[in-house]
Amino acid sequence: MSDTKSFKSRLWEFFQSLGKTFMFPVSLLAFMGLLLGVGSSITSPSTIKSFPFLGNELVQLTFGFVATVGGFAFTYLPIMFAMAIPLGLAKRNKAIGAFAGFVGYMIMNLSINYYLLSSHQLADASNMKQAGQAMVLGIQSLEMGVLGGIVVGVITYFLHERFQDTRLHDAFAFFSGIRFVPIITALTLSIVGLIIPFLWEYVAIGITAIGRLIQSTSVFGPFLYGVGVLLLKPFGLHHILLAMVRFTPAGGTEFVGGQEISGALNIFYAELKAGLPFSPHVTAFLSQGFMPTFIFGLPAVAYAIYRTAKPENRPIIKGLLLSGVLVSVVTGISEPIEFLFLFIAPFLYVFHVIMSGLALMVMALLGVTIGNTDGGILDLLIFGIMQGTATKWYLVIPVGIIWFAIYFFVFRWYILKHDIKTPGREDDDITENVKAEKPSGNKKGAQYDPELILSALGGKENIDSLDNCITRLRLVVKDMALINKEILKKAGALAVVVLDNHSLQVIIGPQVQSVKTGIEAFDLLPVD
């Protein structure tokens, strides 16, 4: 097999890696959102009215502080993207990439400010928002939101990869190598900052048009969104669609507290922080729509797999299924269960895709207003129940029960009718192997064998790059023929996804970070 990668292969590798980098700021945002939700709910006048003892000054000061800390990620999200993208994409000297991302982001906004000032387009504070401008870390610039951070992050990554080994003349040798990266980033982004004002109007129009298209479809928009997310998930590209709707005008634009806010998640957090009612057309794209699937539907899938397994194999698969259910219900991470049936029963995944889209549409039709990112039981508690009955959180339960019943009976019927080899229904020899390899009394995650996984990947010489997202190892390999899928599964992998001749993903589950760390312990890649 040729080691030369096609443009399509390189492009695919880049986009799946880019989607993964979004999880750095999004994971922080999800946690900070929980703090903001708890703090805002306790300090809300309606909460104090219902529970007067919470009006105590110390309680209010404490949870007011919690809400302030929680609002951090919302305020500084663009610069986090600018730093996280080169940090996640860079193969070496990751810290330098992140530092250069910060430098580039600041320089770009300074250049935009200079252009606006020189061309007499710098708006007064009173009409700044109307002019599409905002204060960015003390610099009056164009209001580009997260997209500005993404642009900087991507440009910085390419500059970092191209110039991190640059050797200059002896007279300038001090500025060679990694020191040259933030320098060339600053110079490049200064030029980009002068160009952006000429292009931004057209970019903004395009993004706004996408947002209007989604919004114009009314409740059908959330359905298409849910379907799109689930269709992209097997390829690891769903984070790009999620980020677009959550953080750009594609997810809507609202004035909150006199400020123009873009992106469904941004609007929700702004309304939460301001103590305002949540907008149904905004939360339609957030946690609420995934709750019937994550809290009820996927546990039903696990139960169907358990009930259709051979009786003697049920104790063997119980731990696998319970861990998948726990992760789905609590955190909204669905892959550990989804990849149990995705590749062996594509029809069931299509059914799952449609049901997920319908869940978002039904929640929107019912006027439920529960925001945040995960779609698990914590979001239901903090952003639903704790925010009062105005969120209509109680409607999640009857819809969820219906989803549980539909998922269970459809999966049970299809598995039995077509003899699908879900866990516990495999041939005896495979089952015996599972029994033999099942650890006894080991800690959670001990079933993964990093050394065996590395061997099944063709050894360290076969790996160009290794990274991970929430549930999967993402690899670029030299020779795909050296990949042994059967051994990978025996070593603990849920599934193996081959994207092209060089790119693949090994689905591990929530313990993926420890698996990656275990592989790196064999000196696979240099660690910064």
CA 312, distance to chain mean position in Å, is: 38
Sorting pLDDT into bands at 50, 70 and 90, what band is 292? very high
More confident residue, 387 or 365: 365
pLDDT beyond 90 at 195: yes
Per the domain annotation, does 338 fall within a domain?
Answer: no
The CATH number linked to 502 is 3.30.1360.60
Amino acid in position 58: L
Active site residues: 469
Q: Helix 396-418 crosses helix 346-365 at what angle (to 10 degrees)?
A: 170
Give the integer Cα–Cα distance in Å for 208 and 226. 20
Q: What is the mean pLDDT of the chain?
A: 79
The residues that bridge with 259 in the sheet, in sequence order, are 256
* End-to-end C-alpha distance for the chain, whole angstroms: 31
pLDDT beyond 50 at 444: no
Please provide residue 507's backbone torsions phi and psi, each rounded to the nearest 5 degrees: -80, 115
- The two tokens of residue 171 are 């007279």
Number of domains the chain is built from: 2
Cβ-Cβ contacts under 8 Å for 62 (sequence gap 6 or more): none
What angle (nearest 5°) sits at the alpha carbon of residue 255, between those of residues 253 and 257?
Answer: 145
Neighbours of 205 (CB within 10 A): 10
Among 178-182, 184-188, 239-243, 441-445, name the one with the lowest average pLDDT.
Answer: 441-445
Mark out the alpha helices in 22-124 (DSSP H runs): 23-43, 45-50, 57-70, 72-75, 77-89, 94-118
- The two tokens of residue 65 are 């502080």
CA 310, distance to chain mean position in Å, is: 36
Question: Measuring CA to CA, which residue among 354, 360, 370 is closest to residue 407?
Answer: 354
Percent helix, strand, coil in the chain (nearest 5)?
70, 5, 25
What is the model's pLDDT at position 441?
36
What is the model's pLDDT at position 6?
63
Cβ-Cβ contacts under 8 Å for 263 (sequence gap 6 or more): 145, 146, 245, 246, 247, 248, 249, 250, 251, 252
Give the integer Cα–Cα distance in Å for 289 and 362. 8
Domain limits for position 91? 11-213
Per the domain annotation, does 258 fall within a domain?
Answer: no
- The two tokens of residue 458 are 């063709």
Per-residue pLDDT reduced to its tens digit, 327-358: 778 767 777 677 677 767 788 889 999 999 99
Please provide residue 434's backbone torsions phi and psi, each rounded to the nearest 5 degrees: -60, -40
Long-range contacts of 335-339 (CB under 8 A, 24+ apart): 335/233, 335/470, 335/471, 335/472, 335/494, 335/507, 335/509, 336/471, 336/494, 336/509, 336/510, 337/298, 337/301, 337/302, 338/233, 338/298, 339/494, 339/495, 339/507
What is the model's pLDDT at position 130?
61
The domain boundary, picked from 164, 190, 213, lies at 213
Amino acid in position 162: R
The domain boundary, picked from 169, 197, 213, lies at 213
Give the integer Cα–Cα distance in Å for 279 and 372. 13
Contact 105, 82 (CB under 8 A): yes
Give the integer Cα–Cα distance in Å for 218 and 355. 18
- The two tokens of residue 99 are 């530092």
Give the integer Cα–Cα distance in Å for 22 and 254. 24
HSE (side-chain half, CA atoms, 13 Å) at 89: 28
More confident residue, 121 or 428: 121
Per the domain annotation, does 383 fall within a domain?
Answer: no
Give the integer Cα–Cα distance in Å for 4 and 89. 20
Per the domain annotation, does 287 fall within a domain?
Answer: no
Question: Measuring CA to CA, which residue among 314, 315, 340 is closest to residue 327?
Answer: 340
Neighbours of 444 (CB within 10 A): 11
Give the integer Cα–Cα distance in Å for 66 and 371. 18
Please write down the HEC assignment for all residues of 280-292: HHHHCCCHHHHHH
Neighbours of 388 (CB within 10 A): 14
Amino acid in position 442: N
Per the domain annotation, does 412 fall within a domain?
Answer: no
Per the domain annotation, does 294 fall within a domain?
Answer: no
- Residue 301 to residues 98, 310, 471: CA-CA distances in angstroms? 41, 16, 19
Check residue 510 and report its DSSP letter.
Answer: T
Contact 214, 262 (CB under 8 A): no
Per-residue pLDDT reduced to its tens digit, 492-510: 777 787 777 777 888 777 6
Tokens 């129940």 belong to which residue? 385
Cβ-Cβ contacts under 8 Å for 338 (sequence gap 6 or more): 233, 298, 349, 352
What is the model's pLDDT at position 427?
56
The domain boundary, picked from 213, 231, 264, lies at 213
What is the model's pLDDT at position 33?
66
Neighbours of 62 (CB within 10 A): 14
Per-residue pLDDT reduced to its tens digit, 396-408: 999 999 999 999 9
Radius of gyration of the chain (CA): 25
Average pLDDT estimate for 406-420: 89
CA 199, distance to chain mean position in Å, is: 28
Per-residue pLDDT reduced to its tens digit, 111-168: 999 999 999 888 887 777 666 778 888 888 887 777 788 889 999 999 999 998 888 8
